[in-house]
Each structure stands twice: as C-alpha cells, then as structure tokens.
Amino acid sequence: MKKILASIVLTVLVLPAVALGQGNPPSLPLLVYGNVSLYGVTPPAGMEISVLKDGVIIATTTVNNAGKYFFQIPASYTGSTLTYKIGNLVATEKVALNPLLYASDNINLIITAPSIPSGGGGGGGGGGGGVITPSTNPSTDVTGDGKVDVLDFVVLMANWGSVKVGSAGDFNSDGRVDILDFVTLMANWTL
C-alpha cells in the first residue's frame, strides 16, 4: 500500500514538472472586438472584415447582425502594426497588444464618407421633357476602390433624402440624394 501511495505522490509531483520542461505552454491569442460603421450606417451582416500584417491577411471575420465583429489575433503578432479593413477599405492601423497583459482590445472600425467636391458650374434650368438619362460618372465609386458596388450603395442609403449640394450619394449632382441617384448607381454597377 505504501508503494502504491508513493508512486501516486511521485507521479503527481514529478509529471507536471516534466511536462512543463518539455516546451513552452501554448500562447494565448488577443481578442479584438468592436462595432463597425460604414459611412454612418451598420454594414450588412456577412460583410468581410480582415486583419493584415504587411499586406498579408492573418485573420478574417464577418460583421454580425448587430454590427459587431471579433477576431482572435495570435500572440506572435504582439507589437506588430496591423491593418484592419472593412471590405476593401482600410478602417484603421493599430499595434497589437500583448495578450498576457491585455486579454482583449476594443477597436471600433469606422469609415466615414469621403468628401466629394461640389460640381461647381452654373447652368440654367430648363427641363428636358422628363427624360432621365443616367450618367456614366466615375464619381459613383464613392469609396474609391475601383468598383461601383454594395459599399457605394451603402453611401447612397446613408444619405438618402439629403438635399445638400455635394452630399455623398448625390451621383447626378442635382443637390438631392434620391431615386435618380439610385438609377445612376445602377447604371454604373460593377459586376
């Protein structure tokens, strides 16, 4: 009985010390989370968010229905400057915290609408008999990502009803964000 008890005690005391000496314990990841806002509105659920180190994606996730996201960033990136993107747009760059000191980091990813210079010029009134001709205006690519897509549509919806010259989403430059801008956006949609 004493031999069995001695074996158990030896196993309980020695085995953990041997196991710890076999290598480093696994490192903890840093939990990064926050809210997402794209041009003043919550982007659609499922929109991709990514984290990059020197242009290489190290993690991806999607926006949930509540406009929130979270990542687990490996501890090996501690101290590295990481780039956070919503779709193809850079939201922010931030140095990764050490997960041994900070278990998580709340980073709200916010992209604001770029300012669009107003079209200037005057011009007289005169109607053209009510015919609407959508322009093939590259300014429908408000996000500047080289595509006219859902991100530009989000800008349109965020500014819908605005009656201010130069409003983001006023694609036909008539001083209003309305159905005519929607038609212009659809005419320039990138597949």
The neighbour count for residue 166, using CB atoms within 10 Å, is 14
CATH 1.10.287.130 fits 30-111, yes or no: no
What pLDDT is stored for residue 142 in this prediction?
77
Asked if residue 190 has pLDDT above 70, the reply is yes
Asked whether residue 128 carries a pLDDT value surpassing 50, the answer given is: no
Q: How confident is the model at residue 1 (pLDDT cuts 50, 70, 90)?
A: low
The pLDDT of 38-45, averaged and rounded, is: 81
| Mean pLDDT, range 117-134, rounded to an integer | 42
Other beta carbons less than 10 A from residue 134's beta carbon:
17
Q: Pick the residue with more confidence: 63 or 6?
A: 63
Domain residue spans of the chain: 30-111, 138-187
CB 158 within 8 A of CB 116: no
The dotted CATH code for 138-187 is 1.10.1330.10
Question: Looking at this protein, which amino acid is placed at residue 35?
Answer: N
* Mean pLDDT, residues 53-81 taken together: 92
60 confidence band (pLDDT: 50, 70, 90) = very high
The burial of 155, by beta-carbon neighbours within 10 Å (0-12 exposed, 13-18 middle, 19 or more buried), is given as buried
* Residue scoring higher pLDDT (30 or 137): 30
Per-residue pLDDT tens digits for 77-119: 999 999 999 888 888 999 999 988 988 999 999 888 655 444 4
Mean pLDDT of 52-68: 92
Residue 185, Cβ neighbours under 10 Å: how many? 23
| Out of 12-26, 68-82, 89-103, 176-190, least confident range | 12-26
Determine the pLDDT at residue 17: 52
